[in-house]
Structure 1
């Protein structure tokens, strides 16, 4: 890419890691696992641009080891020990390598990817893991650093980070990453020049979640917040629902989806709202695409209401796309099917498309930089995508919302921390009150500032408390 010519480019002066544990308000079941607590990695980065200006940026992400590293034979404590070591080692690596020359934030982590994967192997040995942390786990463990670099880049240059992906702020086009078809094209060509003022949210219906108020009992929290799905819909007006499936019991999955649709239809009708939308996530538990097809066929027969409301399916089969090379073409003829855990780089992205997946579930936990590149490609070729999260609280949620506000995902973005971590990071929630409070199924983005990723954060205490 040659020597940087732009004064906006940054070098890293410092990278400070922090960790914070939170217990979930209610258990979250997906696939074979139940999540009851999370450890978040939070990072502060200090950078300097070529003009000598200095500023800081922040990033955060729950490490979500049960999702990112699902090997059941290894206890969560060991997985988290390795992921934490990976995060800390990458902080030191970025401070060292990215402190020696000025670069655009898009290029910093992507250029260090191979080094980071090597560091991960060292961390795995130190943690005593019998098998390596998957690439997905490495991405999750390091994603806050990538986010913080983009945030700091925007702040030190007095711009929104999303303004910084045009030729005014980056001296190479997307052909560097996406080939000659993208010669002369930049990320700025594929994202919104202004953020959307409001975003629909996808409410998560976990496999253990209660659907009706009369199912709530003394074992449920009494904290003033809704517990059952009907209560959530009545309070927040949510009309986009992500349904967690078992993936191994087609009849249960069909029944569950049908029941969710009936709750949504009944409660929203009382509010004068006719339409609602579903997505379905089996978390890789369908053994083959045939099981996915069976689910769709039975759902269409038993609940036209649910079937017609179903927007897309998310990663119904295994994340290792190479293992069986399942073709998803027959599934995608019926409903769009998006790859999530299966896409961790451009190679797996391309493989997913070759195998007939309709598009990709974008998550900031797989790096902000990579997400932007995937989105550019999907926008160019009219490939559908969603924006999902990892039960992201605090600025992790703000980050996800800022990305959704500047792009064109299917309808809106997933926001389930209000269900499972509603009291985490109160300072951030107060600062972004209209972003955290859902009204008529949407959140407002007016609190997202015009510098950095929009966090409106200057002190690490405001992120941690």
Structure 2
């Protein structure tokens, strides 16, 4: 076996725990308003054929009302759906013999989707379980080999392949060459999320505590110096125009040369509604600069019809991308055929999917000779520590220059973790976190940027061993 050959491993053990946290201020996206959240923490042990063994870890928010927005389901129902997806995945992975990390993922893909469908779980929910398992397995492999996430992916030690059964549109593409040319960066810009109920100015009512962190958009601009913003639309034309106008007033006056993205949150049933919103925005003088700043429009149409209807009318105005509709490995090629230009990267949907979508984009843009298609980096309330770091390592390796970040705004740093764990993360990642006496470890944002060089450590971007991370279930 060559030094660069993928290592075949099997999932030997797995343990799931959960953390709970109260948000420092409410986060409203779409029709949901979140005030508390839970996070699943998965620890695994893998074994190689030569007897070597290692532990790995991954974590992800158990976020209600995003994976499944059925109004008949409660938040607790949604969380239970995600627990079930993870349980199904662990059963399927545990039944496999040794294979490459990607081979394990590919082997369970069809069965995971089918088993979850039989349980009434949609494809996006079904993707949650494998997304966690794949990250934990690769983290363990990196710790076993003493290699970072970037080194493993660039050398394709995960064994990522193009298969006619899963990615037929990539047949003939030189995937190893694509991976080898990826270049990780040690900084990345923060795209700050402006939630639908976030206060914008000092005149607005606020619910957050006096913890010294910014609450209003004005305070965010002043404190973090962000140059990128993600703006939410709620589906009510008049309300959206009013709020966007107020946001523009703040950004135009204080944020310098800013860029923004517009998140439709599936609030429109067809393309006509979101086209009308965009045209109304373009006709509003107070929104002229904001409209010019918009990079793309994210998932404005409900997933129930988003991959059935053309979006060319909207794409002619601004590039359009899918997010919630990116539930299966074939979703992005289907979206392209309907006029979409982009797709989101979220580790909760699977990091192999992000890598394969990046390969699709590279291939199509090279064939066209222009950068028509794109990958974006979006957040799902990633918590400081494991979840945020693994997401940052992925999108930085894929060449993205800014990433939506919202976990640091709605959660007070690592307040959910014991002091010893917080101190361990600050020590391992001093470029990413800082801690002052009496305060939790918090993300360091300077000039709108994050320094992430310390994520180039053995494993999947987590410099703290799994044994140093609290595994108790509250």
* 1:281-329, Cα deviation, whole Å (9 max, x unpaired): 1201023211111121121221210110111110001112467x22111
Cα distance change of structure 1 residues 237 and 183 upon mapping to structure 2, 3 Å threshold:
same
2:215 counterpart (211, 224, 227) = 227
Residue equivalent to 2:435: none
| Paired residues of 1:49 and 1:156 also in contact (CA < 8 A) | no
Moved more, 314-323 or 353-362: 314-323
Shift of 1:188: 5.5
Shift of 1:96: 2.5
Residue equivalent to 1:445: 452
Residue equivalent to 1:185: 174
Q: CA RMSD in A?
A: 2.4
Q: TM-score, normalised by structure 2?
A: 0.87
* 1:92-145, Cα deviation, whole Å (9 max, x unpaired): 332222xx22x22122122102222344357x4xxxxxxx12111122244211
Residue equivalent to 1:253: 240
Residues 2-401 of structure 1 mapped to structure 2, 5 A cutoff: 6=5, 8-97=7-96, 100-101=97-98, 103-120=99-116, 124=119, 132-165=120-153, 169=157, 173-176=161-164, 177-179=166-168, 181-183=170-172, 185-186=174-175, 189-190=178-179, 193-217=182-206, 219-247=207-235, 249-268=236-255, 274-302=256-284, 303-321=287-305, 325-382=308-365, 383-393=373-383, 394-401=385-392
* 1:223-281, Cα deviation, whole Å (9 max, x unpaired): 1111101001101101111011112x22322232232222122123xxxxx31011111
Q: Distance in 2 between matches of 1:168 and 1:209?
A: 42
| Paired residues of 2:30 and 2:266 also in contact (CA < 8 A) | yes
Shift of 1:168: 6.2
Q: Give the secondary-structure state (helix, strand or coil) at the position aligned to 2:289.
A: helix
Q: Distance in 2 between matches of 1:252 and 1:188?
A: 48
Q: Distance in 2 between matches of 1:117 and 1:21?
A: 28
Cα distance change of structure 1 residues 399 and 313 upon mapping to structure 2, 3 Å threshold:
same
Query: Structure 2: any 5+ residue segments left out of the alignment?
Result: 366-372, 433-442
Residue equivalent to 1:412: 402
Shift of 1:21: 1.8
Shift of 1:169: 3.1
Shift of 1:196: 0.6
| Paired residues of 1:331 and 1:337 also in contact (CA < 8 A) | yes
Query: Structure 1: any 5+ residue segments left out of the alignment?
Result: 125-131, 269-273
* 1:30-67, Cα deviation, whole Å (9 max, x unpaired): 11111122221111111123443221111111121211
Cα distance change of structure 1 residues 165 and 446 upon mapping to structure 2, 3 Å threshold:
closer
Q: TM-score, normalised by structure 1?
A: 0.88
Shift of 1:186: 1.9
Shift of 1:191: 6.9
1:434 aligned to 2:431? yes
| Paired residues of 1:63 and 1:141 also in contact (CA < 8 A) | no
| Paired residues of 2:196 and 2:234 also in contact (CA < 8 A) | yes
| Paired residues of 1:175 and 1:184 also in contact (CA < 8 A) | no
Residue equivalent to 1:454: 461
